[in-house]
Every structure is written in C-alpha cells, then in structure tokens.
Structure 1
Amino acid sequence: MLAQRTEQTTGLGPMDIKFTNRLSYKQARLTVLVGFILGTLLSLIQIGIDYASEDASINREIRTLLKISHDTASRIAYNIDTELAQELTGGLLKSPALIRARLIDNNDTVLADVQRPRLESRYRPLSDFLFGEQRQFQDRLYLAHLPGEYLGTLYLDVDTYAFGGRFLDRAGITLFNGFARSLVLTGILLGLFYLMLTKPLVTVIGALSGGDARVPRQTRVECPSGHENDEIGVLVKVANQQFVSMATEIQQRRNAENRLTQYLNELEDIVSARTDELKAINHRLSQSNQELEDARQRALDMAHARAAFLANMSHEIRTPLNGMLGMIALAVDGPLAAEQRQQLAIAHDSGKVLVELLNDILDLSKFDAGQLELERIPFDLGAMVEDTANLLSQNAAASVELTCLIDADFPSSVLGDPTRVRQIVSNLLSNALKFTRFGRVDIRLHSIVGGVRIEVSDTGIGIPEDAQARIFQPFTQAGAGITRQFGGTGLGLALTRNLCKAMQGHLHIQSQSGFGSCFSADLPLPPHTEAIAPAPLVGRVISLGNSTSGLTELLQTLLPRWGLEHAHFDSAADIFGAAPDLLITDDLEQVLQLRPGIAAPILLATAYGSFLPSEQTAQLAPLYQLARPLARNALYQTLRRTLLGEPSVALPSPAPGEQPLRARILLVEDNPVNQMVAKGMLIKLGCLVQIAAQGAEALECLERECFDMVLMDCNMPVMDGYEASRRIRQGGRWPDLPIVALTANAMPEERERCRAAGMNDYLAKPFRREELLALIEHWVPISG
C-alpha cells in the first residue's frame, strides 16, 4: 500500500497540477488582489469626490434658478397676479429636479402651487440614502428699489434623484473600469509568471516524474536554461544529490514495506473479527443492562408497595387482635368451669397462632431490608419444642399422630434466640401437619457437633424433586393445585430458610412425591446447661397400641431412662393376666374392653380437644388423660403422681396481684376495647389507671395529677401520640416521666419514629401481660 502511494505521488505529470494550485496563479492572484484593492480604493476616493461635487451642485443649481426667477416672482407678488404666478411655477417645474413650486404673497395667500409626482426607480433607495429623499428651498421676494419691503416667498421642492441617478451612473462606470483594468492586469501577470516560474518548474517536474518509482533513478535531472543560478537551479542540484542517497534506501524500505503490508493485513483481519465480536458482546450487555434496570425498578416498586401494605396490614390486624387476646386473657383469669377455661385457652392459643403468622410476614420484610436482629440468651429448646407442638396439635388431622422425640443427652438449655428458633419449629411443624392426612408427624431433637439438629418428618404427600428449590421462594408453593387444596401463604419455608441463614445454620430437605418429607435444620446453638436426669421412678408400665406408633417409640425411649419396667402389647387380649402398675394407651376402644377386667390405673393419650366427659371418666376410673403430643415433664409428673402417690413438683406461677406494683399509670388510648384490655391487665398487676382518649386529654390529666408512667397510643384523633409526646417533652415539667408507645404498627421504622417524638420505649400490639409486667418493672421499679 505504501509503494502504491509512492508510485501515485511520483507519477504525477506536470499538467496534473490543478490550475488554482500553480505558483503562477497564486502569485498573479496575490498581485491582482493587491492591485484590485488599491484600484478599488482609488475608485472609491474618486466616487467620494464626485459625490461631494454632485451634492454641492444640487444646491448651486437650485440657488441659480431661484436667483433667475427672483425679479419675476417679486413683480408678480407685488401685483398679485395669479395668472402670471401659475405660468411662472409651471415653467419652473420644467426643470427635471423640481417636483413642486409655490408662490405666496406677504399675506400668506397662495398665488400658485404646482407639483408633479417624483420619479421611481429600483436605485432610488440608494440615492435617497446618499442625498436625501428631497430638499426644499425658499426665496424671500422684494424689489430692487424697495429692498426693505417684504412681498412674499417662493418655495421650491427638489427631488434629489435627478442628481443622484446621474451620480450612480458615473459611479458604476468608474467601478466597471477598475474591474476591467484588474482583469487585464491579471492576464498579463499570469503570462509573465508562467514564462518566468511555472514553465521551468513544470519542466523539472516532468523530468522528475518521468521514471518508474519502483526502480532507483540512474540519470541526473537537467536544469532549465537560464535558471542555473536561481532557486530552480538549486532545487535541481539538491534533487540530484538526494537521488544518490535514496537509491540504496528504496530497496530496504520496499522490503520493510512488504512485511508491514502483510502484518497490517493480518492485523486488519484480527481487528475486524474482534470488532464484530465486541459489537455482539456490547449488544448483549446492553440488553442485559436494560433488563437488569427494568428488573431493579420493578423490584423497588414492589418493595415500596409491600412495605406500605405490611405497615397498613400490621396496624389494621394488630388492633383487633390486641382486643381479642386481651379480653380472652382477662376472661381466663376469672371464675370459669374447666371446660369453659379450656375453650378460652384454645381460642387464646389460636389468636397467638394468628399473631405468629403476622410476625412471619413482617419478619420476611425485615430480611429484605436487612433489619433482622438476633438475641443470644439461654433457653430450654426441648420444652419450647414440646410447647409449640402442643399448640399446633390442634391443626393435626384426626388420623395423624404428632410426636416429640428428644435425645436423652440433649442439653437442658442452649444459647440462641428463642423467638426465632420457635418460628423455625412452628413453620416446619405447621408445614408437615398441613400436608399430612394419615400417619405420623415426628419432631426430633439431636445434639450435633457445634449445635443442634431439629428434624421434622411426616408421611404426607411429599414434594417432587423439581419443586424442592421453588418452595423456598416467598409466596410460592410446589404447585397451583397445592394452594387450592391445602391453602397457605407460601411464607413459612421461605422465612425458615432465611432464619437458618441468619443464624449461620443450614436447612436440608429429603422428600419424594407420595412418600412424605423430612426437613432438617442444623443450627449453631451451643449448650448452656447439660442434660439433667430426673429422679428415678419404680414400677411396671405396659403400653397398648400399634407398635409402629409414635407413642410406642416415645415410651420405649423414656420409660427405661426413668427406671421403669416397660412392656408393649398390640391388643387388649394379650394383657389379661398381667399385673401392671400403670397402663398407657391411645386407643379408647381397647380401654373400654379392659374395664373392669383390669384394675390398674390407665393413662389415656388423647388427640387435641378430645378429652372424655366427666361421666365417662368416672366410669373408667382410675383414668388419667393427657393430650398428644406427650411432653416429657407432663408425662413424668403424671407417672410420679400415679406410681408413687406424690404431688407434682411443678412450681405454681405466683399471682401478679399478690405484690402490687403501686404504680400510677396514665393510659392514653382511643379504642374502647383496647382501653378495657390494657386497664384490666394493669389492675391485675397492681396499678392505678387513669384513661385519656386522646393527646389533649392526656396533657390535661398531667396538669392535674402525678403519674409514674404514660402508656401512649400513637394513632388517635384530635392529637396523636407523637404530638402529645413532643408537647410533654417541650413543656419541661416532666423530663423524666417514662412514655411508652403502644402501637399496632410493627414495622422497624416505627420504633425510630417513636423515639424521635420523645418516647422512652415501644410495645407492639397485641401484647401479653408478661410483656407489660416486664415493661413496668423496668421503668417503674418497686422501691424498698
């Protein structure tokens, strides 16, 4: 490519140079340009002189005309001869420059007024610009022998175009002559410069370009005649010297050029291929970025919408739940029959399940916002699992057996967050009970290296392998038919997996469609207190029922550990002749067959809510009843009471009212039901309660009385809790008065909003009496 460009450059002929690029043309152009500018300036000077002369000639000619007409006009004015006045003015208008003539006497009487239209032309605007559109002249009339007597005035209006037209014609001729002289000068100079400069240079160029550029030049260039000692001669000498040094270099460059050309061709191919590849990659990246941006925007919109929905839902659901659970808790403390107390306890437990579902939804939003906080305190995981299983047993189908199986060496207490672990257990158990219609649901606790394993297995419908990853997505289940048949929100497993991750644990699943599922949660909960063996018992216990049941497996594990002699039988016919100290079974029909043939006490493990009525219990006495799943402590206490005849060693809970807290509480709440609930709880805790329906009433109460603490609802009419708290703090009279927020909005940002308003603490609805007691003990400690 470089060789081709060299050939093209050196192969130019002398006539290939563009005319406007020739030196003769450039020098002639420069000379003519200078001459043209000077000639134009001279022409303009000449035109300017002509203009001044023409301008002066207008006034001179009209003054001369007035002078000629003065005597005649004076006699006409003296004689007041209108006819002669008309003849005079008419004659004056024969002059081409005049367009109007007037003659008036000394009384301002018009003797004659004659005018005609002015001439029009396309050059008139230029003439008017130079000389003005028109001029007016006047001559005061008097007689020669009466020079002091005024006779009248002669007015003449002059159209300057008559003079301006002549001037423009002369100016055009002047400019044209200048242009013509410049053109003639250009031709002469071009010829001279061509002969003196261009022609010898063309000769030299022709000699230089006559050979083949690919072959080193062997002959010298001849200098044009007459130019041996000028610049052209020097140029020829320098060129001949360069030819000598270039001859050897050309071949080397040609070889290097060939190699470079090959490399450039290869490089162009590589660059072209890479460019196409980069274009494709950029196109895909652009599409991916756009898709990611769209997905991010959709995710942000969904997150904002969900946050708003959760905040509103939390407030709207927690307010009635607070009233419902509070009223039930107050009713349970009253004088009730055992059956009514059990029914209310079931209703209260159901409400707690609903609260836990609401907490699951809110916790899921905390995971998305990265605001979940974990505790690390000691708690009894085994007892918590048994309590949770007992609470959820109401969800088990009639033909499903729920069993808690805890290893003998399992620690009495572990370190961790009991609330979050309870959520994991509750979600796994709820999920297993929901999808199991027949068979067993077992929850097992094992000690592993570095923590514990919570294992929940069932004999339910199972999960297909292709759906096992999908079920951990929020609001997603294994299939659309699952949602229609079994219901559910699809939040439990998603929240459980997030909780396990937050605790640095793992959640595993083993399942096969139609053969049940097994979920295992490995959590790093280190032991705090090792397992404590209870005091040994003495006696012979027989269990009756299916040998593959969860009850049989539980008894075979626990009874020998407690020192009891245990035997299992599948049917009642096998027991006759045996002399047990206690018979344990979950089969009511076999119990009816045994009485009155066997006199030993019978412990009947019943399903949730299936206790026998008192009349039938009396017929089968001695009969004890425990609800499934059997808890270790409840079973041990029942065995101890039955076999040894000793009372239960469980410590009764002290009544909160026995030691009044003697605190004066201002309750600021607009909802009547919530007022009754909170007031009832506070009275049972030994507090004196004053109620205000909104913030303004609370300020009035504080003005009248002294209080130890204020329970402030946040959302109220007239003046809400935020504004009331700000005014209390701004007043300066109660700087140390504890203000605790009561709100149904459980979102994380609500706590910060309450603190910003000046509140000391925060209690989310619905709250339990224990939470209220702990709050009062913290902010209003009992003085000794």
Structure 2
Amino acid sequence: MLAQRTESGTGSGYMDIKFTNRLSYKQARLTVLVGFILGTLLSLIQIGIDYASEDASINREMQALLQISHNPASRIAYNLDAELANELTLGLLKSPAITRARLIDNTDSVLSDVQRPREQSSYRVVSDFLFGQSRQFQDRLMLDQMPSEYLGTLYLEVDTFAFGSRFLKRAEVTLLNGFVRSLVLTGILLALFYFMLTKPLVRVISALSNSNARAPNQNKLAFPPGHEQDEIGVLVKVANQQFVSMATEIQQRRNAENRLTDYLNELENIVSARTNELKSSNTRLSQSNEELEQARRRALDMAQARAAFLANMSHEIRTPLNGLLGMIALSLDSPLNAEQRQQLSIAHDSGKVLVELLNDILDLSKFDAGQLELERIPFDLGALVEDTANLLSQNAAPSVELTCLIDPQFPSSVLGDPTRVRQIVSNLLSNALKFTRFGRVDVRLGTYPGGVRLEVCDTGIGIPLEAQVRIFQPFTQAGAGITRQYGGTGLGLALTRNLCEAMQGRLSISSEAGFGSQFSVELPLSSHTPAIAPAPLRGKVVAISSASSGLDELLQSLLPRWGLTYSRHDSIDSLVDLEPDLLVTDNLDGLFGLRPSLKAPILLVTAYGNFLPGEEAAQLAPLQQQARPLARNALYQTLQRILQGSDDAGPVAQAGTQTSERRARILLVEDNPVNQLVAKGMLGKLGCEVIVAGHGGEALEQLEQAAFDLVLMDCNMPVMDGYEASRRIRQSGRWPDLPIVALTANAMPEERERCRAAGMNDYLAKPFRREELLALIDHWVPPTAPET
C-alpha cells in the first residue's frame, strides 16, 4: 500500500514500473532466496543431528530398561515363577515404545509372553522409513552369585514410532520456524530496499520525465535527501552534466544550421556549373563506350577467326598428311627391297612425327582457349601403356632395354579419358627414348589411394636442376644444344603438364645431369574393373639375363603369379642339369651351341626389328621371337602355346587384335582421290568390300541401291557435305541402325559435337592408322562366324 501511494504521487510523465521489475524487489528476492536456502540447509543439518541423536536414544533407553529388569528377571527365571514373570512383562509393556515382552527359562520354556498392538498414525510411514518398523532386544539372564550359569532370556520388541513421532514433531517445528523467519526477513528487506533505493530512483525518474532537454535554460535536478554522495547522487550529477552538454551542443547545432544555409546557397551555384560540365563528360563517355564495344566486337571476331584458322589449318594439313601416310603404309605392305623399305619407313616415321607436332600445337591452343573436354569412360590402362610402348619401341636405340612393368594387381579397367592419357604416356616415353642411348627405359604402372601412378624412368643424359623449371614451358628445352643434337620442339612436356592439371593430377620430376631422369604422374582415375587373374600354367622357366635387366624384373613379377617356376641365371653354362621347360633370353652369346643338347623351346627377346633371319632361327628351333617391350597378353599367349600346346588366347587376351578376314560392305563417302585410294587400300587389306561416293548426294543414291554395314563419311565435300547427308539419312527413317562414322581433318573439340548433332555415331580424325580403322570396324561391325 505504501508503494502504491508513492507511485500515485509522481508526475504524469513518469511511467509506472511493475512491482516484480523493481530493484528493491529483485534485491530482496535474491537476498531472501539465499537466506532461505541457507536457513533450510542449516535446519536440515539440525534435523540430521537430531535424527542421529534420536536414533541413538532408542538403543540407549532400551539398554537401560534391560539393565533395570535384569536382576528381577534372573530371579524369576531361577525360581521358575510364572506369575512373577507375567507381572514383570506386563510392567515392561507399560512403556509406550515396547509392544511385546517375553521371558523364557534355560530350557526355552516360555514363562511369560505378552504383547499389544502398534499405534496407527499417518506419520508411521515416514517414521518407519527413518527408524524402521521395530527393533529386537534381548538380555541373557544370570545371577551375580552364579555368573557362569545360564538361567534364561528376556526378549523385548520395540515399536520405533514412539521415538519417530517425537522426532518428526521437532523437525516440523524447526522447518516452520525457518520458513517464518524467511517471510519476516522478506518483508523487512522489501521495506528497507524500497525506502533506500526504489523511492529515490522514482523521484529522479519523475524529475527526468518532467524536464525538457531542449529548453535553453534547463533547471538542474535536485538531489534526493540523504543520497548526495552515493550512486543515486552520482547519477543526478551525471544527468546535470549531460543537460549542460546538450544545451551547448544544441546551440552549436543552431549556429551550424545557419552556416549550412549559407553553404547551400553557394552549393546550388556550384552544382549548376558542374551539371553543365557533366553533360559534356557524359557525351564523351558515351563515345568512349561505343569505341570499347567496337573493340570488344573486333576481339570476338578475332577469336572466332583464330578458331576458324585453327580448324582450317588442321583440315588443310591433315588431309594431305592422311594421303601421304596412307600411301606409304600401303607401299610398305608391298614387296620391297631392304633399301626401299628403310626409306619408306623413315618417311612414314617422319610423317607421324609431323602429326604428333600438329596434335600438340592444337592441344595447346585448346588449353589457351579453355576448350579442352575430357571423357570419362572405362578403358584398359595397362593395355594402353603396353600398346603405346610397342608403337614407340622403334624409336629406341638398339642398346636400350625398354620394359613395361605393370603391377599384377592393377585394375583391368579404369575410368577416364584414354586419348589424353595416351598422350601423356606417349610424350613421356618419347622424351625418355629420345635422350637415352644406353641402359634402360622403364614404364612402371601402379596404384595409390585414390588413383593411378605412372613412372617413366630412364638412364639418359638427365636434366640439370636449374633447367627442370624451364622444360615445362612451351617451345622450351633444357638447352640450345639439346635441340641441335636431339631435335624436338619442346611442346611435349608442356602439353603433358597441362593434361595432368586438367585431370586434377600431378606431374613431378626427379633428375640429375648424367644420371637419368624419372617422371612421375599421379592421376585420380578410379578403378572400374578389378584385376582378372589368368588361368594358371604349369612348367619350369629359366631366364638367361643380367640381374639388373628389365626382363628379369618383369618375369619375376609375372611368372610365379601364373603358376610357373622361375629362376634366373647369368650364363648359359649354368643350364646343365636344370632341364627347363622353356628358356627365355635376350642374349645371343653361346646360344647357338645349345642345340641339340637342350631340347626345351627358346623364347628370344630382341630389340625392335632385330629378329633372327630364317637360317639362324632354324638352327635354334623350336624358337619363338618377341620384340621389346614384352606385353603381358602376348607373353601369356606365347607361354600357353609353348607349355600347353594350345592356341587359346586365355582370359587376358585383348579385344580388337585379331586380323581375320572381314565380310563387311562399307560405303566410303570421300571427295579427295588420294584419300579414296588410301581408305580403299586399308579397307581392302582388312577384307572389306568398299563402294566409293564422291559427295553426300551420291551416298544417298548408293544407299537406295544396295545395303551397307557401315558408312565412312567425310565432312567437308562439294555438292552436299557430310553433315547434311547424315541428317538426311537419319530423317528418312529407312536406315535407323546404320552406323555412320565421320572422317574429318578438323581435330577441334567442337567438331565432334557437330558430328554427333548431325546424327553420326563415331568420329575418326585424319590422318588415321590401319589399327585405328580396324578397331573402329571391330566396334561397329562385329565379325561373324565363318560359314560352313
């Protein structure tokens, strides 16, 4: 009531504060809460001490009662007086805590047994929980004159509720007193905090609410009586200082507003002048924007012209190259003398180098234009490495041992872009073979967590440390003398690094001048098909080779896994009494002296093009010859054929390597006569029947007249090009399953998409090799079983 009267007397500008939000209430609440908790804890401690005392008093009082009753009970038991025994037990039963008394003699005969019911109360549950329902006491009876003679036993059963009820009443009083003290303390603290804190603050708030901060002559707030030096007094002082500061600031703002008015008038004049200048600047800016737009259009036109130039250059160079290499390849299949074959082989190799150079230049241009696209298809990386090494083995010096060392647990297929991976392998291996004249060149293929690791190691000239950074720059080699002595353009390693980075991989080098080089490539190509173990073989294979040779390392890793017993020896002299099933060697020293003492077949591993002539091979018969590097599939087939007398290719044979005659009718659509001759010659040697059309119109006419298994379609032709012809074939609906393969000299990536959009099924860039053409026919025209 006092608080309500005080609040009603404040000014109209004062906003009432809820009772529960006042500082006096909050402070009293916290103080009382702490006091209540503390008082409750102290009361509980006091109750606990009282409980322990009461619990001990039960035993103490009962023991005292037994001591008082000991002598009378002993005499009664001695005299066997049942009447006195009954009086004694009834007397004990008058105690409020005893509910049963029993006296027996030394023969366990009951002299007296009396009891009464327990007292019932709502507090009994609590009392029984604290002290238990009852307690048993007994006293062994004996006389002082006969301390060793047992006379009987006095039994007492005590109801603890008599003591528990007394304890609970005291505990109730103790807790009630603590609660009352807390309530009294709460009231006192509320009154004290209100008069000492809340009431002075309410006065200050009321004065602040009624004051006008913007009045020029603001009166100072008065100090509440008795609070001049405490926190409330400091609050009033700070408020008065703020009033003074606000008055000063208001006056300064008024002065600033007057000055600002003057500035605005001047600014209007300046803005008018600047507006005229901006109009002129906008006019000049518009002209500059038009010039920039024209420059942007010219840049776009130049980029399109550059792309068109690259496409045209690719087409114009590849078309004659296709004819050149095709004709040379066809000539190499004709009867030639050794000199002519050597000359044509050199010309064919030079043409292939020119094609690789053209591919590198186009690929670098794709990187620069951001047009490189990567495939993600399953392919056999192990076979790809072996095929690439086999194609490049002709570039190896005769004294260089080229070896493909593939982890036997390497997956059968991985997911990635086989074309780009082949470029990486080809560039690194070509680089190693170019700069290695003696020793070894090893291609190692394995896995690491998350991808595959390819290493190309050589014993060549090595790369100085200061030149290892430059070799990855386009058109750069380790030194000027390198280009003069070994040739090359310096594009291979730059392109290889770009391809690795495009596949999210890594290319690293470890080299020292004069001690060879090691290029390591890590590519995140995931496994698609795990490794497939071939059917086991049986036999004993002995190799004659150096302990440091790649041949021994290859055979040691493969043959035991294929079930063969393998051992290596340094010389032929150690073959005595070994009786091998097969002898493998890469050394001719002493080999011709083995026959006829050695009956086992011989597998001779030679460099590219160094097979023994017929007469010398006949002296070593039975003899098998294979060129380095040994491929796993070819080696397995040879071992199977020799050791088991079987021509079965086994589970590791590769698809697409057969050269059996084909029965395919192919429509070749090509306007260039040279390319017609090349394609017809290659297809004829593959057993295909070829019909030629000079442009798309003739192709449609040929399709109307006869059925074909495959269409090889050139893209750029007069009258009707390959794109339009393919679209018309698809739109007619008459040949929905007829495969159409584009033959184009344009190697740019958008050309492949353009061919697919026109309805073509596949794409083959010129110049193409017979192996690529064979693989294409194998895919789209599977061989049929021979007629019987």
CA deviations on 1:31-60 (whole Å, 9 max, x unpaired) are: xxxxxxxxxxxxxxxxxxxxxxxxxxxxxx
| Residue matched to 1:747 | 748
Contact 1:586–1:605 (8 Å) recurs in 2: yes
Contact 1:450–1:524 (8 Å) recurs in 2: yes
| Residue matched to 2:523 | 523
Cα separation, 1, equivalents of 2:504 and 2:374: 11
Alignment of 1:653-672 (within 5 A): 658-660=662-664, 665=667, 667-672=668-673
Tell me which amino acid in the other structure corresponds to 1:689. I
Cα separation, 2, equivalents of 1:390 and 1:486: 21
More displaced 10-residue stretch of structure 1: 674-683 or 417-426: 674-683
Q: Does 1:773 align with 2:777?
A: yes
| Residue matched to 1:500 | 500
Provide structure 2 residue ranges, at least 5 long, that are not aligned to the other structure: 1-247, 253-295, 783-788
Cα separation, 2, equivalents of 1:703 and 1:637: 42
Cα separation, 2, equivalents of 1:494 and 1:395: 21
Q: 1:770 to 1:354 in 2, by over 3 A?
A: farther
Q: 1:726 to 1:478 in 2, by over 3 A?
A: same
Q: 1:461 to 1:729 in 2, by over 3 A?
A: closer
Give TM-score scaled by structure 2 length.
0.53
Alignment of 1:232-311 (within 5 A): 310-311=310-311
| Residue matched to 2:461 | 461
Deviation of residue 771 (structure 1)?
6.4
Aligned CA RMSD, in angstroms, stands at: 4.5
Alignment of 1:136-535 (within 5 A): 310-327=310-327, 355-535=355-535
Q: 1:581 to 1:720 in 2, by over 3 A?
A: same
| Residue matched to 2:649 | 649
Contact 1:544–1:585 (8 Å) recurs in 2: yes
Contact 1:389–1:404 (8 Å) recurs in 2: yes
Contact 1:640–1:646 (8 Å) recurs in 2: yes
Q: 1:464 to 1:633 in 2, by over 3 A?
A: same
Q: 1:411 to 1:348 in 2, by over 3 A?
A: farther
| Residue matched to 2:215 | none
Tell me which amino acid in the other structure corresponds to 2:679. A
Cα separation, 2, equivalents of 1:433 and 1:751: 33
Tell me which amino acid in the other structure corresponds to 1:423. Q
Contact 1:411–1:527 (8 Å) recurs in 2: yes
| Residue matched to 2:675 | 674
| Residue matched to 1:537 | 537
Deviation of residue 748 (structure 1)?
3.5
Deviation of residue 533 (structure 1)?
2.1
Provide structure 1 residue ranges, at least 5 long, that are not aligned to the other structure: 1-248, 254-295, 779-784
Deviation of residue 658 (structure 1)?
4.6
| Residue matched to 1:589 | 589
Contact 2:726–2:758 (8 Å) recurs in 1: no
Alignment of 1:606-645 (within 5 A): 606-645=606-645
Asked which structure has the greater CA Rg, the reply is: 1
Cα separation, 1, equivalents of 2:538 and 2:728: 70
| Residue matched to 1:151 | none
Contact 2:700–2:725 (8 Å) recurs in 1: no
| Residue matched to 1:691 | 693
Cα separation, 2, equivalents of 1:432 and 1:400: 11
Cα separation, 1, equivalents of 2:469 and 2:302: 23
Q: 1:580 to 1:672 in 2, by over 3 A?
A: same
CA deviations on 1:231-281 (whole Å, 9 max, x unpaired) are: xxxxxxxxxxxxxxxxxx9xxx9xxxxxxxxxxxxxxxxxxxxxxxxxxxx
Tell me which amino acid in the other structure corresponds to 1:516. G
Cα separation, 2, equivalents of 1:755 and 1:562: 44
Deviation of residue 481 (structure 1)?
1.0
Q: 1:741 to 1:400 in 2, by over 3 A?
A: closer
SS in 2 for 1:410: coil
CA deviations on 1:631-674 (whole Å, 9 max, x unpaired) are: 1222222222222332242578667865545x6x3x54332121
Cα separation, 2, equivalents of 1:728 and 1:391: 34
Deviation of residue 419 (structure 1)?
1.3
Contact 1:714–1:720 (8 Å) recurs in 2: no
Tell me which amino acid in the other structure corresponds to 2:604. L
Contact 1:729–1:735 (8 Å) recurs in 2: no
Tell me which amino acid in the other structure corresponds to 2:676. Q
| Residue matched to 1:84 | none
SS in 2 for 1:509: strand
Cα separation, 2, equivalents of 1:431 and 1:615: 37
CA deviations on 1:118-162 (whole Å, 9 max, x unpaired) are: xxxxxxxxxxxxxxxxxxxxxxxxxxxxxxxxxxxxxxxxxxxxx
Contact 1:506–1:522 (8 Å) recurs in 2: yes
Deviation of residue 622 (structure 1)?
2.0
Q: 1:668 to 1:645 in 2, by over 3 A?
A: closer
**Percent identity at matched positions?**
68
Tell me which amino acid in the other structure corresponds to 1:482. I
| Residue matched to 2:50 | none
Q: Does 1:764 align with 2:768?
A: no
Cα separation, 1, equivalents of 2:678 and 2:324: 9
SS in 2 for 1:589: coil
Contact 2:537–2:562 (8 Å) recurs in 1: yes
Alignment of 1:695-706 (within 5 A): 698=698
Tell me which amino acid in the other structure corresponds to 2:745. A
CA deviations on 1:359-393 (whole Å, 9 max, x unpaired) are: 23322221111111111222221121111111111
Q: 1:776 to 1:479 in 2, by over 3 A?
A: same
SS in 1 for 2:589: helix
Q: 1:555 to 1:321 in 2, by over 3 A?
A: same
Contact 2:372–2:749 (8 Å) recurs in 1: no
